[in-house]
Amino acid sequence: MQSIRESKALSINGFLALLGFLALLGGGIYLLVTNAMAMDVNHPDPFAIITPVAVLIGSLFLTGGFFIVQPNEAKVLVFFGRYIGSVRTAGFFWANPFAARQTVSLRVRNFNSDTLKVNDARGNPIEIATVVVWRVTDSARALFDVDKYTGFVAIQTETAIRHVATQYPYDPHDDEVSLRGDTDVVSKALRDEIQERLEVAGVEVIEARLSHLAYATEIAQAMLRRQQAQAIVAARREIVEGAVGMVKMGIEQLSEYGVVELDNDRKAMMVNNLLVALVADHEAQPVINTGTVY
């Protein structure tokens, strides 16, 4: 396939070209009137009429070369099937009147992908979608190297999403990169993947972010219970670690200040009571020993 790169088209300021066109048109009319008045009726000269008429017709053909370029827009010029350049500067211009002109927007665009169902790195089915911010940087490649570059962006973006989603698990495990826990890393990987695929179309990917991420419906409830269990275990671990530290500190301070002397059995009983009180789900209800009643 012949790869085409954008180049600058040969064009001139439209207002200068308009002045030249008006001068040519006025000259043609002047010649036509002058030659008609000076023509000998008995011996007419056909070239005296044909020449100014040809000038007028030619000037009318030249009007087809005028065009306007809006801001953040490019006009791609094609002359009999050959690309002759693009005009990216906003303004009023004149170029080859026989060249076909196509408009390519250079503005920043958003693409919202559909929600796709894919498998993550562990084989779990997930739902994922993304928002891609992109723009055309090479108008020639966008028109001639791919067929309908907007559709090309959509298809290649969805392909990149499927590929990136299979490289990371949904939830982190042992400090590994995950889709849910490392959105910046995943977004950069997704942007690089899409950019590599869209390079052939002359498209720049400005940003790519996940807009939707969830477990598939068929396993969502099971995974929710799993996440809840993991959260409970993590919370219990923190509670136990804190309770052990508090018990240790309490025993050390009792011994340091000489409040009470505790043997090993009493220490064991005290540790047991404190741990039960600190780790239990409900508030402790202490039993006060007031002595023996006879």
Domain residue limits, the chain: 12-105, 109-215, 229-279
pLDDT at 281 over 70: no
Q: Which residue has the higher pLDDT, 37 or 62?
A: 62
Whether residue 105 is predicted with pLDDT greater than 70 in this model: the reply is: yes
- Model pLDDT, residue 222: 62
pLDDT higher than threshold 90 for residue 289: no
CA dist., res. 94 & res. 65, Å (int):
5
- May I ask the CATH architecture of the domain 109-215? 2-Layer Sandwich (3.30)
Q: Is residue 193 predicted with pLDDT exceeding 80?
A: yes
- pLDDT, average across residues 21-49: 66
